[in-house]
Structure 1
């Protein structure tokens, strides 16, 4: 059985957090044609992040997308690894555990979203023009470097608690047979996967916005990316 998905209230909260950076930028924006490259990068990253999290926090948001789907760590050697490998040979069990892991990731995204938006607000851009003229995920790549392992740290408690839930009874029983097993190590591995998935999702949205800025409905960003400002 999958873990519960986020409540409508929690989704609404993420939506409000997501909207805040755009609102703040709009309040201090200069007239069309006067937007700075720095503001442009912030708008681009905010729009891409909003679109990415809007997908990820939906039921099945991680599992239903090959780009973001999480996988259980490969079983190690020893008795525990052999038992786990035998358990995971069953497709029904594989699917059940995979869906449960990805359901936890949906909840973990609640912890990650505010960190992403805060990082965007705090970022400084030494060469914003080169970022805007860079590759399809140039801004996301910078965001990932600036954010570092903060998303992993934020999501780790969610995965640690989730892996102790009823949905993982088979998994934990198999791993318990492995000498020195630490559920925290498994949670850390999956947290890193989830962080990678989030940045891949943001990068995909950035590339889509660069290709079609009109989807943002932001006239300043559209003008910037279409070459009307730089």
Structure 2
């Protein structure tokens, strides 16, 4: 019991200077620490999706690019031979990343809605955590919903674009398991989205002044103290 009380007191003590700083930065009606975390996640999410929605956004991303699944060549035969060609493999990579990008458009409002509604029971710990602590919490909360909303779009895109890339005649002979492929690509895309958000969160934490948001500047500066 004493240990629990001690932790509670320490948590309250940590919260006081953070709230005080926010109050100084914004005046009456100051945002709460929870609102500060939401601002951090909202800005990180918006920046990440802006980058991913640029032409070839997924394909050009170091953290979100979709790799050609090994399962595509798992049965050997015609498709495995084709994928040994760097030209075909690169074309397939571009197609898969475009499919992921198209599906990710549906995920944007889902992620932002979860940011608005998510429970932040220990916002101070999030702010004082690692460079992607808020994103980790967001993925735990929204990851399943993002995958659910992307999977149908990924599956539709794969059935049309992959066949078009390989030609229908070849695709029919390869025995591609589109359900498995869809799960793989959607999973990669979902993870890539959160890695992209985490990268933006880390950048904001490293230079909060660049956001010109007084709440973020105050909170993140205090969190590093």
Question: Could you state the TM-score of these two structures normalised by the residue count of structure 1?
Answer: 0.79
- Per-residue CA deviations over 1:158-211 (Å, capped at 9, x if unaligned) read 2111112255331765554456x5312111110000000000000000000000
Q: Which residue does 1:103 correspond to in 2? A: 98
Distance 1:166 1:204, change over 3 A: closer
Shift of 1:128: 0.5
- Per-residue CA deviations over 1:125-172 (Å, capped at 9, x if unaligned) read 111000000000000000000113111111112211111225533176
Q: Which residue does 2:68 correspond to in 1? A: 72
Distance 1:205 1:172, change over 3 A: farther
- Per-residue CA deviations over 1:102-132 (Å, capped at 9, x if unaligned) read 1122211110001100000111111100000
1:1-150 alignment runs, 5 A limit: 32=26, 34-75=30-71, 80-150=75-145
Q: Which residue does 2:178 correspond to in 1? A: 183
Please provide the CA RMSD for this pair. Answer: 2.4
In structure 1, how many angstroms separate the alpha carbons of the residues matched to 2:187 and 2:212?
33
Gaps in structure 1 of 5+ consecutive residues: 1-28
Distance 1:164 1:70, change over 3 A: same
Larger radius of gyration: 2
Query: Does the CA contact (< 8 Å) of 2:155 and 2:178 recur in 1?
Result: yes
1:134 aligned counterpart, secondary structure: coil
Shift of 1:55: 0.0
In structure 2, how many angstroms separate the alpha carbons of the residues matched to 1:113 and 1:51?
11
Query: Does the CA contact (< 8 Å) of 2:58 and 2:65 recur in 1?
Result: yes
In structure 1, how many angstroms separate the alpha carbons of the residues matched to 2:59 and 2:141?
27
In structure 2, how many angstroms separate the alpha carbons of the residues matched to 1:73 and 1:173?
21
In structure 2, how many angstroms separate the alpha carbons of the residues matched to 1:87 and 1:227?
55
In structure 1, how many angstroms separate the alpha carbons of the residues matched to 2:211 and 2:169?
48
1:49 aligned counterpart, secondary structure: helix
Question: Could you state the TM-score of these two structures normalised by the residue count of structure 2?
Answer: 0.80
Query: Does the CA contact (< 8 Å) of 2:73 and 2:80 recur in 1?
Result: no
Query: Does the CA contact (< 8 Å) of 2:72 and 2:181 recur in 1?
Result: no
Aligned length: 200
* Partner residue of 1:192 out of 187, 209, 217: 187
In structure 1, how many angstroms separate the alpha carbons of the residues matched to 2:161 and 2:114?
35
